[in-house]
């Protein structure tokens, strides 16, 4: 289909039970997140002591790298506002499902080919009762 994917490899064989639970939680959370501003989960599988999570590839990297690459160059106010609105929409979608991301930072905000940003890395997310 011409799409690119990224596979996140997690070595679960040497993890504590708490860390393994965090990895399982990330999969459960991602599997229920369908939103244009959230990195799209595709599938997961275990093999040879590792857990693999397949997600859409965000070809422009994360916002942290973009900020560092453009040091000394100011972003346009409209661009910043657009990214902010998209992040707010992603967080509203997450919070409407009673989930807390708990790790909002520029390294977890990803850029895709157009001007779209996507929230990712739900490893330490918590589902509220």
Active site residue 78: no
Which 3 state secondary structure label does DSSP give 78?
helix
What are the structure tokens assigned to 7, written together? 């596979």
Q: Which residues on neighbouring strands pair with residue 54, listed in sequence order? A: 7, 43
DSSP H or E run through 51: strand 50-56
User: From the candidates 1, 70, 103, 114, which is the catalytic residue?
Assistant: 103
- Name the residues annotated as catalytic: 103
């Amino acid at each position: 289909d011409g799409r690119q994917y990224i596979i996140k490899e997690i070595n679960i064989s040497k993890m504590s039970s708490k860390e393994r639970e965090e990895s399982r939680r990330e999969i459960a959370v991602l599997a229920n997140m369908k939103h244009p501003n959230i990195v799209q989960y595709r599938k997961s599988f275990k093999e040879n002591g590792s857990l693999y999570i397949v997600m859409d590839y965000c070809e422009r990297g994360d916002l942290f790298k973009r900020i560092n690459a453009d040091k000394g160059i100011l972003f346009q106010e409209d661009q910043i506002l657009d990214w902010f609105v998209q992040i707010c929409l992603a967080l509203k979608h997450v919070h409407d499902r009673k989930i807390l991301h708990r790790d909002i930072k520029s390294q977890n905000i990803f850029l895709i080919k157009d001007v779209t940003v996507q929230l990712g890395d739900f490893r330490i997310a918590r589902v509220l009762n």
